[in-house]
């Protein structure tokens, strides 16, 4: 019977894919520029480390033979010596008999003493520090810890007391130092002591059980200079003089049970905006350097953050302020902050550009970044803090929900920002791409152990795919049921850790009670559905064959592979299906009508005749869709006839899928571009932003084929004319956020392709800024492309003007924006000024911004690559000292090599300087080889791309190109025959089950 099923399925498969299509040839489509820091495939080379169970992972885990109950911590901050010392008392207990050692974490701390006590009596111990595993083993000299075997609830407590000291770190982890210059950044440096503990850096600030599963209460004290203030997770209980000259002690109220990575302190000369409740207690505040508070830069976060906190409290039915009687919420702006933002319970920390807003100097991009960063961190108060992932291998339980609420919590409060629409190109499409390689890690990922593998879990997949799968589940169950399920999950696991099964069970219970999954059959399980998306990597592409005479639709699912089209792995997912048709063009009902789980599936459309079909309404599902060629033509005809019949999100889906099908080889570029020709009349946000991402990827590839690149530029110019006529290069008075943000996204690419009017608009506005010496300000949402093109076509004095503005400006978002565009200058002396400021010790460019600034210098113009390479070659030691590795700056160079001759020269230089490059040599050579792959790929596809571009009407014509009739696939009649065979096969297989 099994053999018969296999034969039938094989015949059906052959009928579908053997006539007359050829499978795509595997080819590398991921190149160096996509593997740089912050890019989509940043950790691709390391991803295989954590995709399978690592037998050594357990050596990094603490034994559960002891557990903490409470910590008392005192930190003393010494700004004169830029150091700290501390004392920690951990109240702990044994969890089983015969325990003779206590194992906890510590890293880069000088341990001055260790003592173990019980009932005030000292117990002789010895200890050993393992710097590789970052642990301390405290061994009892004799005997074992007491444990009541007859009563496991009878906890016998011990006190472990450790004294320690260290320098304030400079790498933005653990307890580290930052700085600011107040009053327009021109005064003397003022230091800050602040923390970043997630995921494994609490151990760098105090010895502790530094795993999320070891929750405990914390009482924190900070000894600080009297000229400074301090903050921690809870409200301050008392401040008193400790006898140390010019020092005071701040004592903080105890916390609820929480993980070590959520602890935080700040010591700084900061001011605040605050809310005091009717009892006279602080409940909410924004803190920052004094000039920022005086300049009202904290007002937006102050106001919107309170709205978001109230909305999230209502959504979860757990009021934030009831979680602990000592809780308040502090949002802190930190000048040096690598993580972007962090959800420390009660003391949330952010880069300045993600918290501080100035209406005159902060763009719409940064304003919405502040809104969704606030949403993300506030959501963590429940998803991550109140209920915490049991281990980092299920981090999506924290980060997936926080990323989801970034968009949808913000959309409830700030709906004019269009977060629900923007989720599609910004998160869903990004997640699909990151998840399209065979080495992508699953959301639930066994084998995570070392700090490096834990760090790799903070990925696009964990955040964006996690959020996308959660969004898909909400549409599957319905908002009300999903919300109630999450409330049940949070209440059941509050102050505890969670596994995915806890979430699945809560959702299943509520779904059964409301009957929302009854139509999917008795065998449908929320747990099985969720596991298919979380326990295996990748995602499906649905191949849809439609018999338009009968309405029969045959759907195959395969794992999508960006390098080969279809993966050969036999993965299947439990997929919620929605679809709309020309006769039923409803895109509002996103409740799935069908669930499919087999490799081959059959659904009847419910209508007959030639009409378009669009699967995945509003792209609520996490999958791609490829139709038979006849159906694709029907879709294109519909888009050219009345584009608004198909939902904006689905038009964005079509754009994204077609570009990725062409990239992976499933579809030719000429065919994909023909189907994308509806963009010439498209004016909506999501489809165009999606298209721009794909076009920019192609522009980077085709830079090695100048003639083809020029024709691609012309195509983008033609297709972009309608949308640019709508947006223009100048903002309207009182225009909406989304219109302004749309222009912000589109215009930089239009300037790259030299669309008419773009360069002139930029240069004229920049000239006004310079000639007025700043009294005329460029519209804030236009500054990125105006500044860049002003420098690109300007003089060295133009660079000097912006360089001075960067060094003296009092709004960090403006400083950050300028830093991103300074590299647009083509002048060597100006670029050298910028590069010197990056790699030399100074108080100009922050470590967190090194790669941003360096990338700007390399990519600002094609000619910059050679200038920057010459700088590196002449300053190897200085560049290595600045970046701590030559591999990082040279990777930016190698990703911009455009010809084989350039690559060969680069590799020859690397080989001649192999000793100087040291451990970076292999990485440098690999980057050069990736550049060769990119050049080869461009040569392979350029004829395919030109087949379409050369066939359409000349650039000066405005007549839309005709819909091309493809010869690549079956026509309607052949599709009918195929579908009938497939329907028969599916029916027969189902009968044989």
What is 752-789 written as a DSSP string? HTT-TTHHHHHHHHHHHHHHTTTSS---GGGHHHHHHH
**For helices 396-413 and 364-380, what crossing angle results, to 10°?**
130
pLDDT at 733: 87
Q: Of 212, 222, 266, which Cα lies nearest the Cα of 248?
A: 222
pLDDT 10s digits, 151-194: 767 899 999 999 999 999 999 999 999 999 877 666 789 999 99
Taking the CA atoms of residue 771, residue 773, residue 777 and residue 782 in that order, the dihedral angle to the nearest 10 degrees is 60
Handedness of CA 432, 437, 442, 448 (dihedral sign): negative
CA angle, residues 566, 569, 570, in degrees to nearest 5: 105
> Is 233 a residue whose pLDDT tops 60?
yes
Are β-strands 341-342 and 347-351 bridged in parallel, bridged antiparallel, or unpaired?
antiparallel
pLDDT at 50: 43
pLDDT at 140: 97
Helix H, strand E, coil C: the string for 326-366 is CECEEEEEECCCCCCEECCCCEEEEEHHHCCCCCCCCCHHH
pLDDT at 58: 84
In whole angstroms, what is the distance from residue 105 CA to residue 454 CA?
15
pLDDT at 841: 85
**For helices 500-514 and 466-477, what crossing angle results, to 10°?**
20
Helix H, strand E, coil C: the string for 898-910 is CCHHHHHHHHHHH
In whole angstroms, what is the distance from residue 481 CA to residue 488 CA?
11
Asked which of 529-538, 645-654, 980-989 is least confident by mean pLDDT, the reply is 980-989
CA angle, residues 404, 321, 313, in degrees to nearest 5: 35
pLDDT band for position 416 (cuts 50, 70, 90): confident
In whole angstroms, what is the distance from residue 144 CA to residue 153 CA?
19
pLDDT 10s digits, 770-816: 999 888 999 999 999 999 999 999 999 999 999 999 999 999 999 99
pLDDT band for position 14 (cuts 50, 70, 90): very low
Q: Are 382 and 313 in contact (CB under 8 A)?
A: no
> Is 976 a residue whose pLDDT tops 70?
no
In whole angstroms, what is the distance from residue 628 CA to residue 556 CA?
12
pLDDT at 201: 98
Share of the chain above pLDDT 90, in %: 85
pLDDT at 350: 98
User: 629-633, long-range: CB within 8 Å, 24+ apart, which pairs?
Assistant: 629/966, 629/968, 629/969, 629/970, 629/971, 630/546, 630/548, 630/969, 630/970, 630/971, 630/972, 630/975, 631/544, 631/546, 631/548, 631/975, 632/675, 632/966, 633/963, 633/965, 633/966
pLDDT 10s digits, 43-79: 775 444 444 444 467 899 999 999 999 999 999 999 9
Q: Are 675 and 965 in contact (CB under 8 A)?
A: no
Other residues' Cβ atoms within 10 Å of the Cβ of residue 206:
29
Which H or E run includes 865? helix 864-874
Other residues' Cβ atoms within 10 Å of the Cβ of residue 37:
14
N residues, the chain: 993
The tokens of 476 are what?
Answer: 């599957």
pLDDT at 45: 57
Helix H, strand E, coil C: the string for 151-180 is CCCCCCEEEEEEEEEEECECCCCEEEEEEE
- Evaluate the omega torsion of the peptide bond into residue 98 and state whether it is cis, within 30 degrees of 0: no
pLDDT at 438: 94
pLDDT 10s digits, 481-499: 999 999 999 999 999 999 9
In whole angstroms, what is the distance from residue 270 CA to residue 518 CA?
57
Q: Are 869 and 893 in contact (CB under 8 A)?
A: yes
Residues 714-724: what's their mean pLDDT?
97
Q: Of 532, 683, 654, 676, which Cα lies nearest the Cα of 587?
A: 654
Secondary structure of residue 374 in the 3-state scheme: helix
Asked which of 377-381, 552-556, 798-802, 957-961 is least confident by mean pLDDT, the reply is 957-961
> Is 376 a residue whose pLDDT tops 60?
yes
pLDDT band for position 23 (cuts 50, 70, 90): low
Which H or E run includes 557? strand 552-561
Which H or E run includes 218? strand 217-225
The tokens of 345 are what?
Answer: 């319970």
Residue 764 β-bridge partners: none
> Is 538 a residue whose pLDDT tops 70?
yes
pLDDT 10s digits, 276-309: 999 999 999 999 999 999 999 999 999 999 999 9
In whole angstroms, what is the distance from residue 942 CA to residue 136 CA?
59
Rg (CA), the chain: 30
pLDDT at 958: 36
Q: Which of 153-157, 330-334, 962-966 has the highest mean pLDDT?
A: 330-334
Average pLDDT, the chain: 91
The sheet with strand 135-140 has its strands ordered as: 101-105, 135-140, 125-130
- Cα distances from 602 to residues 382, 548, 552, in angstroms, run 41, 14, 7
In whole angstroms, what is the distance from residue 243 CA to residue 228 CA?
17
pLDDT at 37: 86
> Is 699 a residue whose pLDDT tops 70?
yes
pLDDT at 20: 35
Provide CB contacts within 8 A for 730, sequence distance 6+: 761, 779, 782
The sheet with strand 282-288 has its strands ordered as: 271-276, 282-288, 329-334, 347-351, 341-342
- Cα distances from 611 to residues 544, 633, 885, 977, in angstroms, run 14, 10, 58, 18
Q: Of 727, 544, 502, 754, which Cα lies nearest the Cα of 635?
A: 544
pLDDT at 728: 96
Higher pLDDT, residue 390 or 10? 390
> Is 515 a residue whose pLDDT tops 90?
yes
Asked which of 144-158, 822-836, 910-924 is least confident by mean pLDDT, the reply is 144-158
Residues 132-136: what's their mean pLDDT?
96
In whole angstroms, what is the distance from residue 66 CA to residue 788 CA?
58
Question: What residues are annotated to the active site?
Answer: 377
pLDDT band for position 24 (cuts 50, 70, 90): low
Residues 317-332: what's their mean pLDDT?
97
């Amino acid at each position: 019977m099994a053999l018969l099923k296999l034969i039938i399925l094989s015949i059906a498969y052959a009928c579908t894919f053997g006539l007359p299509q050829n499978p795509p040839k595997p080819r590398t489509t991921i190149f160096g520029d996509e593997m740089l820091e912050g890019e989509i495939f940043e950790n691709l080379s390391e991803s295989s480390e954590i995709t399978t169970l690592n037998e050594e992972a357990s050596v990094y885990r603490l034994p559960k033979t002891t557990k903490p109950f409470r910590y008392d911590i005192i930190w003393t901050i010494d700004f004169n010596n830029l150091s700290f010392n501390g004392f920690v008392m951990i109240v702990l207990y044994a969890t089983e008999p015969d325990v003779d050692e206590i194992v906890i974490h510590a890293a880069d701390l000088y341990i001055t003493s260790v003592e173990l006590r019980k009932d005030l009596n000292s117990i002789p111990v010895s200890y050993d520090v393992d710097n590789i595993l970052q642990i301390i083993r405290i061994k009892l000299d004799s005997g074992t810890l007491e444990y009541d075997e007859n009563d496991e609830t009878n906890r016998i407590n011990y006190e472990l007391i450790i004294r320690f000291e260290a320098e304030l770190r400079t790498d933005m982890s653990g307890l580290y130092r930052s700085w600011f210059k107040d009053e327009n950044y021109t005064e003397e440096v003022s230091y800050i002591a602040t923390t970043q503990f997630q995921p494994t850096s609490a151990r760098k600030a105090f010895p502790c059980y530094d795993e999320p599963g070891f929750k405990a209460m914390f009482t924190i004290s900070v000894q600080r200079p009297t000229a400074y203030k301090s903050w921690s997770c809870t409200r301050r209980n008392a401040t008193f003089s400790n006898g140390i000259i010019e020092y005071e002690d701040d004592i903080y109220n105890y916390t609820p049970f929480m993980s070590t990575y959520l602890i935080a302190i700040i010591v700084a000369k900061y001011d605040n905006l605050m809310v005091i409740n009717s009892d006279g207690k602080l409940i909410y505040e924004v803190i920052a350097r004094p000039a920022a508070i005086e300049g009202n830069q904290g007002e937006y976060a102050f106001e919107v953050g309170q709205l978001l906190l109230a909305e999230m409290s209502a959504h979860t039915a757990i009021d934030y302020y009831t979680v602990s009687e000592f809780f308040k919420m502090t949002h802190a702006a930190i000048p040096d902050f690598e993580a972007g933002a962090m959800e420390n319970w009660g003391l949330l920390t952010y880069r300045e550009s993600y918290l501080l807003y100035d209406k005159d100097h902060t763009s719409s991009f940064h304003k919405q970044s502040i809104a969704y960063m606030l949403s993300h961190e506030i959501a963590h108060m429940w998803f991550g803090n109140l209920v915490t992932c049991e281990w980092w291998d299920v981090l999506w339980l924290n980060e997936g929900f926080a990323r989801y609420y970034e968009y949808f919590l913000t959309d409830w409060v700030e709906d004019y920002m269009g977060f629900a629409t923007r989720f599609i190109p910004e998160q869903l499409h990004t997640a699909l791409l990151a998840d399209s390689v065979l080495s992508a890690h699953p959301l639930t990922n066994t084998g995570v152990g070392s700090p490096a593998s834990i760090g790799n879990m903070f990925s696009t997949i964990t955040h964006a795919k996690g959020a996308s799968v959660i969004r898909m589940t909400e549409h599957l169950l319905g908002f009300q049921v999903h919300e109630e399920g999450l409330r049940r999950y949070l209440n059941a696991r509050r102050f505890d850790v969670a596994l995915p099964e806890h979430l699945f069970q809560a959702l299943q219970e509520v779904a059964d009670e409301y009957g929302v999954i009854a139509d999917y059959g008795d065998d449908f399980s929320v747990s099985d559905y969720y596991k298919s998306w979380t326990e295996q990597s990748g995602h499906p592409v649905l191949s849809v064959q439609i018999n338009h005479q009968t309405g029969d639709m045959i759907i195959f699912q395969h794992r999508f592979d960006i390098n080969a089209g279809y993966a050969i792995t036999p993965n299947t997912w439990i997929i919620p299906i929605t679809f709309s048709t020309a006769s039923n063009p409803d895109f509002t009902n996103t409740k799935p009508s069908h669930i499919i789980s087999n490799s081959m599936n059959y659904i009847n459309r419910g209508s007959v005749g030639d009409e378009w079909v669009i699967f995945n309404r509003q792209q609520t599902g996490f999958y791609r869709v490829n139709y038979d060629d006849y159906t694709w033509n029907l879709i294109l005809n519909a888009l050219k006839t009345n584009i608004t019949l198909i939902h904006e999100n689905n038009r964005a889906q079509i754009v994204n899928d077609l570009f990725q099908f062409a990239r992976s080889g499933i579809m030719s570029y000429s065919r994909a571009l023909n189907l994308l020709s509806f963009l010439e009349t498209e004016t909506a946000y999501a489809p165009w932003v999606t298209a721009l991402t794909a076009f920019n990827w192609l522009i980077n590839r085709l830079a090695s084929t100048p003639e083809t690149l020029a024709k691609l530029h012309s195509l983008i110019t033609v297709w972009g004319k309608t949308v640019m006529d709508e947006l223009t290069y100048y903002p309207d008075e009182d225009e909406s956020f989304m219109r302004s943000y749309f222009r912000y996204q589109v215009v930089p690419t239009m300037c790259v392709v030299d669309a008419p009017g773009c360069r002139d608009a930029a240069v004229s506005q920049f000239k006004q800024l310079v000639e007025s010496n700043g009294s005329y300000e460029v519209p804030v949402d236009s500054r990125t492309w105006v500044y860049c093109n002003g420098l690109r076509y300007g003089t060295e004095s133009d660079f000097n003007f912006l360089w001075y503005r960067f060094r003296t400006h009092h709004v960090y978002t403006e400083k950050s924006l300028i830093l991103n565009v300074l590299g647009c200058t083509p002048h060597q002396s100006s670029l050298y000024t910028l590069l010197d400021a990056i790699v030399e010790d100074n108080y100009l460019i922050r470590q967190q911004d090194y790669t941003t600034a360096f990338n700007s210098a390399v990519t600002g113009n094609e000619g910059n690559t050679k200038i920057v390479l010459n700088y590196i070659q002449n300053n190897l030691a200085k560049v290595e000292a600045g970046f701590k590795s030559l591999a990082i700056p040279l990777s930016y160079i190698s990703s911009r090599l455009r010809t084989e001759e350039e690559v060969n020269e680069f590799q020859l230089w690397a080989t001649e300087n192999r000793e100087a490059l040291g451990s970076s040599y292999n990485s440098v050579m690999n980057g050069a080889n990736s550049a060769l792959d990119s050049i080869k790929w461009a040569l392979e596809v350029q004829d395919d791309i030109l087949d379409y571009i050369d066939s359409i009407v000349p650039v000066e014509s405005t007549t839309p190109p005709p819909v091309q009739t493809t010869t690549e696939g079956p026509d309607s009649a052949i599709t009918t025959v195929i579908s009938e065979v497939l329907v028969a096969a599916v029916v027969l297989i189902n009968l044989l089950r």
